[in-house]
Chain A
Amino acid sequence: MNRIAGALRSPVTFSVLAGVLIGALFLVGTGADPFTAYGAVLSGSLGADGIGSTLTTVTSVLGLALALAIPLRAGLINLGGDGQLVLGGMAAAVTGLYTPLPAPLTVLLALLAGMAAGAGYAALAALCENHFGVPLLVSSLLLSYPASSLASYLARYPLKEPGSSLPQTRQLPDGVALPAFGSSTVTVGLLLVALAAATYWFTDRRTAIGYEIRMTGLNSRFAAYAGVERGGLTLRLMATSGALAGLVGAIGVLSFPYRFLDGALTAPGYTWTGLTAALLAGAAPLGTVLASFFFAVLQVGGLSMERTTEVPRELTQVLQAIVIVFLAARLRFPRGRLRKKAAV
């Protein structure tokens, strides 16, 4: 009961309400009716027509939010989600196209390949910090761009679908796809991501390694003093992070339209949304899930609101940012390490 009361008084509730209120002022300012607009957001994202899209969006947003939350729990910021995502997608596409195995096995292999590619690339950023002293924040960000360029090149030249006007690979063979629920766009990918979230929750709360990760985030010198090896942990956390980002990429490729299309994975900006969700929740597992869901609702609902009312969808973007600003101003999470790192 205490928890419920606490949640009601928490900065989260306050920030969401403040954001909604300011958003309403914007709406009134442009001559729109806030109730209609917010109603459209809710019915467009949670109504029968929208819930599918929302869950599909949740798959990507939550997947990336988890990917970024896991290192964040130890105070590490991975800004290279885009690169890891794209390489994961590309690896899955190549595996899906060229594996001569039965379709279900190919799907499994493609998922694993996507995770491996993301993990490997993220680990590279960790090595840059461990061995060259380049702060992870910077190394991961800078490494992200060449990865996107590489994938773009592959999709444009060696792996391009012959005759197509788009920089895309061929479509995966029949059956090389994640099973979808009914006729919706929601695939088994959602379950995979939910499983990842559950695993993260369990690890964070109930395992020794989760405890070590939390303590590293709260005071890395304390953790090191007690024997938690910093470099190794960074490497493992980044690899896990990259694997999850790669998994999201693989899920993207193994879902409609079943191919790698240059820019398709990164254009919706899930990496930023995911990072913001993770940051807002202080990387706490449950909070990350809730924040991801909230953002997915805003994004899908915003588009739907634009379709049905005159209100441009930028409004939900503004709303989202305002909520974050309010939350951030009242919320802190352990980031002592970053400060020092950043002050190179």
Chain B
Amino acid sequence: NAAAKDSSSEGAKSSGKSFTLVTPDAVGQNEFLKLAVDGVKAAAKAHDGTQKVYESSDTASQQQNVQAAVEAKPDVIVLVGFEFADLVAQQAKAHADQQFLMIDACTTKTFKNVGCAVFREHEGVYLAGAEAGLLSKSGKVGAVDVLDTPQFRRYSDPFAAGARKVAAKTSTSTRFVGGQSPFDDSARAKEQANSLLSKGTDQIMAAAAAGNYGVFEAAKAKGAFAYGVDVNQCVSSPGTVVDNVIKRTDVAVEKGIDQVLGGKAGTTVSYGLKEGGISLTGLEAGVDSSKCVIAQHKDVLTKVKALRDQIVAGELKVDDPAAS
């Protein structure tokens, strides 16, 4: 628990600001949460302040952690995830002088002391889908999601739409890991991927949390390709992972804190392709050293860049499954 270690070094020199990050799950290998931790650390450094990370594991611990965070009265409490919407609404009302920053979600009502940052993952997933459509030889692409919930649908529905955009005849399919331990069950995720592969699918969007490793293994064994999320996952399975939908949570956290400290809480900032909050590894600098398969398909990247430009310019609108 490196995060907590930093906090112990606060004390005398903490003339700066203090930030507390509360996560909905254990940070572990959750790339999305790791980035959030990076973001809050960067903010602490920038503001010569201190930071703490409270990791939750379930609804009960989320509640207890938020409670504890509020009682410690840091300058900003950062909360990552949809799960916190109700909690933040409750606490923001009860503690009007406490500043909150919500990442990846927002309260239904607007509070003057709550800043929000949300992502338009679907834009990035759409582009990954386009890559898949262009690269697929079988004309079949699919996705493996953790659970059948709206936020995970953001990783499957736009993927299908992107593929069909560039290759109209592409057939698409989605599997959900489910089971007793959906976020950790890589064996199950692997079998779900296998069931797609056995149908001839050769491009798979992997949004199975820890199960992604299982998806990559399955794809690798069948010589098929997969797409990672949040960070560059190509390194964990070079030659199999084509590209990744990058979500710059660190940026959102750091900028969000600035915005809240700057007195501009009460607003919601949306990060998409345009803002650089969402991207693909293939579209970033350093693609050639990323170990991603897409680095060998410059032609594909050219077409995808064109699509991106259309989206950024607002000429192309990507449907958001979570907005229904």
Contact = CB atoms under 8 A, between A and B. Distances in A.
A56 B59 CA distance: 12
Interface SS majority for chain A: loop
Interface stretch (A13-21, A224-232, A301-309): A301-309
Interface in B255-275: none
Nearest to A162: B324
B94 A165 contact: no
Contacts of B68: 49, 304, 307
B131 interface: no
Contacts of B90: 256-257
Interface SS majority for chain B: helix
A6 interface: no
Given A165-B149, A300-B64, A303-B61, A256 B52 contact: no
B86 interface: yes
Nearest to B83: A166
A165 B322 contact: yes
Given A165-B151, A267-B59, A310 B8 contact: yes
Interface in A78-115: none
A257 B87 contact: yes
Given A165-B149, A303-B65, A306-B55, A183 B5 contact: no
A268 to B, nearest CB: 4
A268 B82 contact: no
Contacts of B290: none
B138 interface: no
Interface size class of A (residues with CB under 8 A): 35 or more
A53 B150 contact: no
A163 interface: yes
A145 B179 CA distance: 9
Contacts of B324: 162-163
Contacts of A263: 59
B105 interface: yes
Contacts of B315: none
B83 to A, nearest CB: 7
Given A49-B68, A267-B58, 11 more contacts: A165-B105, A165-B150, A165-B151, A166-B150, A171-B86, A257-B86, A267-B57, A267-B60, A268-B61, A307-B4, A310-B1
Top 10 closest A-B pairs, CB basis? Answer: A257-B86, A267-B58, A264-B59, A268-B60, A165-B322, A268-B58, A165-B151, A165-B150, A53-B64, A167-B149
14 contacts: A163-B324, A165-B150, A167-B149, A171-B86, A185-B67, A256-B87, A257-B87, A268-B58, A269-B58, A303-B61, A308-B4, A310-B4, A310-B8, A312-B1
